[in-house]
């Protein structure tokens, strides 16, 4: 066991080091303690992440074009999925592109679609470097995407169709209001095909029935939703499914998101009492 003078000597030695190495050491120790504490508590089964702040990161970092920020953000995805693998979190949903994002310029959208194609291919071809192989699925309005992006996603879904139970859902061309609208449309179409009257449909609609028509009805609702970049809103992400989710808002831009930030989010989830209206 170290004596007081030994501890003092160690502390003095640390203080004499350059500031950056000392800070790195402090972060490593803190991260290790966070990891240990988290594994002793409840861990979410489904984590949703709003990948926000790529463009602002590019501006802050002085990158030549905003698409360089999207590239950094896309590379961060593999790290995040690896962190979820390490904690054995079965389902991960990543919001890569909203329906509102289609208002952006054609060059930026082209770069985003290219990155999506690249990353879903990496996960389906086992080239992402993550420990676990996950079933890849898209949620969103597929018809809004370029054909090349639709084809890349379809190939990834087919290649990983028999993988599981770990899931990676990629929300592309996604909006929460659009998902609910599409669910109600599909439900009404099915009921009408079955010969139900509009009056009968209206009187018998229940939340559970609508849930069965969402984009991924077999996936449990998210326990934890994380948003980066300091924005304090969901912007419609998993609008129906997030009724009882815990939210965690992080100030850092998505490309700067670290494992320590992720562990803080999971710890925040573990520290909360989830009563679900009780």
Catalytic-residue membership of 190: no
Round to whole Å and give the CA distance between 31 and 34.
5
Task: Please give the C-alpha separations between residue 250 and each of 237, 254, 258, in angstroms, as whole numbers.
Answer: 16, 9, 11
CA atoms within 13 A on the CB side of 191: 20
Q: 35, 68, 86, 101: which is the annotated catalytic residue?
A: 101
Round to whole Å and give the CA distance between 10 and 232.
42
Catalytic-residue membership of 101: yes
Q: How many residues does the chain have?
A: 278
Q: Are residues 223 and 238 in contact, defined by beta-carbon separation less than 8 angstroms?
A: no
DSSP 95-117: EEEESGGGGS-HHHHHHHHHHHH
**Sign of the four-CA dihedral 207, 247, 30, 273:** negative
Closest Cα partner for 122 from 161, 77, 167?
A: 77
Closest Cα partner for 66 from 55, 57, 75?
A: 55
> Which active-site residues does the annotation give?
52, 101
């Amino acid at each position: 066991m170290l004596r007081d003078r030994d501890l003092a000597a160690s502390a003095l030695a640390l203080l004499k080091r350059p500031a950056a190495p000392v800070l790195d050491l402090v972060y490593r120790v803190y991260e290790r303690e966070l990891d240990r504490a988290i594994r002793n508590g409840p861990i979410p089964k489904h984590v949703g992440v709003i990948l926000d702040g790529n463009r602002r990161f590019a501006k802050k970092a002085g990158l030549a074009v905003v698409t360089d920020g999207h590239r950094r953000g896309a590379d961060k995805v593999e790290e995040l999925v690896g962190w979820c693998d390490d904690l054995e979190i079965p389902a991960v949903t990543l919001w890569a592109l909203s329906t509102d994002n289609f208002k952006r310029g054609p060059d930026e959208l082209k770069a985003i679609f290219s990155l999506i194609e690249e990353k879903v291919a990496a996960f389906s071809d086992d080239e992402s470097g993550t420990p676990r192989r996950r079933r890849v699925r898209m949620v969103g309005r597929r018809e809004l995407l370029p054909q090349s992006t639709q084809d890349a996603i379809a190939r990834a879904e087919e290649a990983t169709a028999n993988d599981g139970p770990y899931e990676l859902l990629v929300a592309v061309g996604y909006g929460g209001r659009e998902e609910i609208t599409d669910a109600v449309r599909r439900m009404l179409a099915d009921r009408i095909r079955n010969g139900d009257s509009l009056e009968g449909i209206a009187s018998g609609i229940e939340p559970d029935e609508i849930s069965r028509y969402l984009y991924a009805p077999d996936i449990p609702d998210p326990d934890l939703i994380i948003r980066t970049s300091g924005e304090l809103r969901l912007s419609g992400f998993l609008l129906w499914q997030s009724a009882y989710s815990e939210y965690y808002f992080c100030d850092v831009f998505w490309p700067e998101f670290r494992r320590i930030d992720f562990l803080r989010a999971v710890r925040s989830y573990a520290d909360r009492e989830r009563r679900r209206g009780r």
